[in-house]
């Protein structure tokens, strides 16, 4: 079974996996692409034999809606970290923002953040980062298929982005802020698509639980 869950803010991807295991009673449950706790949106899960499909789903391009706060930067590049830098915000207008975002479209290199699940020597980078240890990382190849401005204010930018597997939107947000002459971090992130799975078709974990209980009840009656 493949399940399209709208992950809520505050839950880890593994929290959702554990919850689905408990709801369904299936021993084998996995997910097709981690979402940070501060992020929400499309999280694809597979159960039992369908976990084999997850590796292909994980390779799919993804789409996000992100909100970037300018003038302040955290060590995690999201709201969960501590402030490490502050800079004035230059004048912004629609022309400047469209022009800046256009720079990021296409194939490019990206440096994975220290606060990430990537491994070095068998150790997750975020575990080293929590001990204030920063190590050299290799840049990864990514591709931004599309990036577009939704709205902006004097200190916030909301944008849509479609990108390749492995793209860190937190890093993209920080890089956009840098190009604009300031610093920034993501305060909101919603994944709206994973391959052919869309947010409009996602269901909350609560609704999934209700649906599953109804399904099992009907199965028993039949």
pLDDT of residue 220: 65
Residue 207 phi, psi (nearest 5) = -65, -35
146 is catalytic: no
pLDDT at 132 over 90: no
Q: Which residues contact 157 (CB under 8 A, 6 or more apart)?
A: 67, 68, 70, 92, 97, 149, 151, 176
Q: How confident is the model at residue 136 (pLDDT cuts 50, 70, 90)?
A: confident
pLDDT of residue 34: 87
Residue 162 CA to residue 147 CA, distance in Å, equals 6
pLDDT at 163 over 60: yes
Computed over every residue of the chain, the mean pLDDT equals 93
* 12-41 mean pLDDT: 94
Q: How confident is the model at residue 115 (pLDDT cuts 50, 70, 90)?
A: confident
pLDDT of residue 194: 96
pLDDT at 60 over 70: yes
Percent of the chain scoring above 70 in pLDDT: 98
pLDDT at 126 over 80: no
The tokens describing 64, both together, are: 């996000």
Residue 202 CA to residue 2 CA, distance in Å, equals 11
pLDDT of residue 106: 97
* 72-77 mean pLDDT: 96
Class of residue 109 by CB neighbours under 10 A (exposed 0-12, middle 13-18, buried 19+): exposed
Class of residue 93 by CB neighbours under 10 A (exposed 0-12, middle 13-18, buried 19+): exposed
Active site residue: 6, 36, 78, 175, which one? 36
Of 62, 33, 60, 59, the closest CA to residue 45 belongs to: 33
Higher pLDDT, 27 or 131: 27
Higher pLDDT, 116 or 44: 44
pLDDT of residue 222: 56
* 69-86 mean pLDDT: 96
Query: Please, are residues 47 and 31 in contact by the beta-carbon 8 Å criterion?
Result: no
| Residue 113, CA atoms < 13 Å, CB-side half-sphere | 22
Q: How confident is the model at residue 221 (pLDDT cuts 50, 70, 90)?
A: low
* 142-169 mean pLDDT: 97
* 158-165 mean pLDDT: 97
Q: Which domains, from first to last, does the chain contain?
A: 2-59+196-221 (3.30.2350.10), 62-113+139-191 (3.30.2350.10)
The tokens describing 167, both together, are: 């793209």
pLDDT in tens, 185-205: 999 999 999 999 999 999 999
Query: Please, are residues 217 and 86 in contact by the beta-carbon 8 Å criterion?
Result: no
């Amino acid at each position: 079974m493949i399940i399209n869950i709208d992950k809520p803010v505050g839950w880890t991807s593994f929290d959702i996996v554990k919850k689905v295991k408990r709801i369904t009673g299936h021993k084998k449950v996995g997910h097709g692409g981690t979402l940070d706790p501060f992020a929400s949106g499309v999280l694809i899960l597979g159960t039992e034999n369908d976990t084999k499909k997850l590796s292909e789903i994980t390779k799919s391009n993804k789409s996000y809606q992100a909100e970037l706060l300018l003038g302040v930067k955290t060590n995690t590049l999201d709201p969960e970290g501590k402030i490490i830098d502050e800079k004035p915000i230059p004048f912004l207008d629609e022309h400047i923002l469209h022009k800046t975002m256009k720079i990021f479209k296409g194939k490019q290199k990206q440096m994975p953040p220290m606060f990430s699940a990537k491994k070095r020597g068998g150790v997750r980078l975020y575990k080293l980062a929590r001990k204030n240890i920063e190590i050299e990382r290799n840049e990864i190849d990514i591709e931004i298929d599309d990036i577009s401005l939704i709205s902006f204010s004097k200190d916030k930018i909301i944008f849509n982005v479609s990108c390749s597997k492995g793209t860190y939107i937190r890093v993209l947000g920080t890089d956009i802020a840098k190009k604009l002459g300031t610093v920034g971090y993501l305060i909101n992130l919603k994944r709206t698509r994973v391959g052919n799975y869309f947010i409009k078709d996602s269901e909350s974990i609560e609704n999934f639980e209700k649906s599953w209980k109804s399904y099992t009840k009907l199965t028993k009656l039949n």
